[in-house]
């Protein structure tokens, strides 16, 4: 059986998982692929560090350049973490005509355009199944399974840590800091959970999905992002009373003018919607294609084994590409879409929580501002309980363009009867 040489850059959690499972499932993988996937060389920052896997010392190096220079290596796997070094590594690998497998969502989201341009120029593929939703094969599904479909929409929970935190806030009435602490103790949150809780980890994944679905590279400035950190236990409770769960949802969809929406933020999801029952560290995606209709994907979006599963599937594809030639699927720009809808023009329903003085006429003042912007209210609750000398007032708002809603909220915030910054969340539509 022909051997395909693999160079592995990075032997952290995922790198070690890939090494371990390539050996453990070697026979199965070779039988299915028809090729032997052999790790020839591994680049790490510190070759002498003690690890959970023990590759022969002679194949471990401190210089990633050796992987690119080695003629026995046909496919490179980038699992280093960070942006600058992986970027150099990938560009050099593509220049050398070697296929690259990566799980680096931040790198692709921030520099994907240049990387894929280089890949197209060199006729070499990049595989990145592990970059989005861990073990869920969503990239292959969009790229291959739904190749004949216009993707009408993707609604997705793409960050396990924030989903775990929101689930615990819902189940145990915890506040955000306590739920974050628990996620860290359980080992779910990254050492630095900033990108998890500020929405940017999910946004990086959404950028990749949107670009793949619509055939033009969506820039980081074209996606509207908000995190879960300002959500309080009261928001969870009020949303529950109104029939919703709060989830960090990525929305990617197109309208009749072929303009593309991409946004990630805490969103009120109706309890009967399938995404409302995705709890804990799980990820889920609902993809609607014009031919296939609605489809649902669910699974672990992080962790050694799920991510390893995706990397190995990419390695198999890369090996087949190398062995048989053929068209290199990566990111294929096509120009059928090509523009993002400015967030101000995106329409949605909203949840608006205000902290107001408890006196007659307050609701009328708020309603009057909303009315003057042609924004309708669909329900109002004034839950019991005081916040200092103020009380909460919660409104669910009919669909309105975000720009109009934002302007109205600024005006509401400046009313004398409004005592704290309003909480504005989107309602899934």
Catalytic positions, written as ranges: 205
CB-wise, 201 or 261, nearer to ligand HSE?
Answer: 201
CB of 193 to ligand HSE, least distance (A): 8
CB of 196 to ligand HSE, least distance (A): 5
CB burial class (10 A; 0-12, 13-18, 19+) of residue 325? exposed
Residue 17 engages ligand HSE in binding (rule: CB under 6 A): no
* Helix, strand, coil content of the chain in percent (nearest 5): 40, 25, 35
DSSP per-residue string spanning 286-310 = EEEETTTEEEEEEEE-SSHHHHHHH
Three-class SS state of 72:
coil
Judged by CB under 6 A, which stretch of 86-94, 159-167, 333-341, 409-417 contacts ligand HSE? 159-167
Residue pair 208/131 in contact by the 8 Å Cβ criterion: yes
394-412 b/e (C-beta count within 10 Å ≥ 16 → b):
bbbbbebbbebbeebbebb
Phi, psi angles (nearest 5°) of residue 303: 100, 160
Residue 160 engages ligand HSE in binding (rule: CB under 6 A): yes
Judged by CB under 6 A, which stretch of 70-78, 157-165, 168-176, 400-408 contacts ligand HSE? 157-165
**Non-local CB neighbours of 71 within 8 Å, separated by 6+ positions:** none
CB of 131 to ligand HSE, least distance (A): 8
Which run of H or E residues covers position 348? Answer: strand 347-357
Q: Among residues 78, 129, 196, 314, which is the contact residue for ligand HSE, using CB under 6 A? A: 196
User: Residues 103-142 vs ligand HSE: string with x where CB under 6 A?
Assistant: ----------------------------------------
Residue 60 engages ligand HSE in binding (rule: CB under 6 A): no
Judged by CB under 6 A, which stretch of 114-122, 153-161, 269-277, 342-350 contacts ligand HSE? 153-161
CB-wise, 133 or 356, nearer to ligand HSE?
Answer: 133
Three-class SS state of 85:
helix
Interface with ligand HSE (CB under 6 A), residue total: 8
Site for ligand HSE, residues 272 to 311, rule: CB under 6 A: 301-302
Judged by CB under 6 A, which stretch of 154-162, 317-325, 356-364, 390-398 contacts ligand HSE? 154-162
Site for ligand HSE, residues 199 to 258, rule: CB under 6 A: 201
For the record, the structure tokens of 395 come out as 């409104």
Q: Among residues 30, 104, 141, 159, which is the contact residue for ligand HSE, using CB under 6 A? A: 159
CB of 165 to ligand HSE, least distance (A): 10
Judged by CB under 6 A, which stretch of 52-60, 155-163, 289-297, 370-378 contacts ligand HSE? 155-163
Q: Among residues 141, 161, 313, 317, which is the contact residue for ligand HSE, using CB under 6 A? A: 161
Helix axes 304-324, 26-33, angle to 10 degrees: 40
CB-wise, 129 or 196, nearer to ligand HSE?
Answer: 196
Residue pair 101/314 in contact by the 8 Å Cβ criterion: yes
CB of 95 to ligand HSE, least distance (A): 28
Residue pair 390/356 in contact by the 8 Å Cβ criterion: yes
CA atoms within 13 A on the CB side of 361: 3
Three-class SS state of 328:
coil
CB of 332 to ligand HSE, least distance (A): 24
CB-wise, 199 or 392, nearer to ligand HSE?
Answer: 199
Q: How far apart are CA 141 and CA 72, in angstroms?
A: 31
Look at the chain and count its residues.
429
Binding site for ligand HSE (CB under 6 A): 159-161, 190, 196, 201, 301-302
């Amino acid at each position: 059986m022909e051997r395909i040489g693999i160079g592995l850059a990075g032997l952290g959690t995922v790198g070690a998982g890939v090494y371990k499972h390539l050996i453990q499932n070697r026979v199965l993988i070779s039988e299915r692929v028809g090729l032997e996937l052999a790790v020839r060389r591994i680049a790490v920052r510190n070759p002498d560090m003690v690890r959970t896997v023990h590759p022969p010392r002679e194949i471990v190096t401190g210089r990633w350049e050796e992987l690119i220079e080695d003629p026995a290596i046909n496919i490179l796997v980038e699992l280093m973490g960070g942006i600058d070094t992986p970027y150099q590594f990938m560009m050099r690998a593509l220049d050398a005509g070697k296929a690259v497998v990566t799980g680096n969502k931040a790198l692709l989201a921030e520099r994907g355009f240049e990387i894929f341009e280089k890949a197209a120029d060199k006729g070499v593929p990049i595989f990145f199944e592990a970059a989005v939703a861990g073990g869920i094969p969503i990239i292959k599904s969009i790229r291959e399974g739904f190749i004949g479909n216009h993707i009408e929409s993707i609604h997705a929970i793409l960050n396990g840590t924030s989903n775990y935190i929101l689930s615990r806030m819902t189940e145990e009435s915890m506040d955000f800091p306590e739920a974050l602490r628990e996620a860290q103790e359980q080992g779910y949150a990254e050492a630095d959970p900033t990108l998890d809780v500020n929405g940017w980890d999910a946004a990086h994944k959404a950028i990749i999905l949107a670009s793949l679905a619509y055939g033009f590279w969506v820039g980081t400035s074209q996606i509207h992002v908000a995190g879960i950190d300002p959500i309080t236990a009261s928001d969870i409770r009020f949303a529950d009373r109104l029939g919703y769960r709060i989830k960090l949802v990525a929305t990617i969809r197109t309208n009749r003018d072929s303009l593309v929406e991409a946004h990630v933020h805490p969103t009120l999801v109706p309890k009967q919607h399938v995404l409302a029952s995705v709890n804990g560290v799980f990820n889920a995606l609902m993809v609607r294609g014009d031919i296939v209709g609605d489809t649902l994907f669910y699974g672990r979006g992080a962790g050694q084994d799920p991510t390893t599963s995706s990397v190995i599937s990419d390695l198999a594809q890369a090996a087949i590409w190398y062995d048989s030639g053929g068209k290199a699927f990566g990111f294929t720009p096509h120009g059928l879409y090509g523009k993002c809808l400015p967030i101000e023009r995106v329409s949605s329903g909203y949840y608006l929580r205000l902290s107001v003085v408890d006196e007659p006429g307050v609701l009328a003042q708020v309603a009057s501002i909303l009315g003057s912007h042609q924004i309708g209210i669909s329900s109002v609750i004034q839950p019991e309980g005081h916040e200092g000398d103020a009380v909460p007032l919660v409104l669910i708002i009919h669909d309105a363009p975000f720009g109009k809603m934002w302007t109205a909220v600024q005006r509401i915030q400046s009313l004398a009867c409004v005592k704290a910054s309003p909480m504005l969340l989107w309602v899934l539509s």
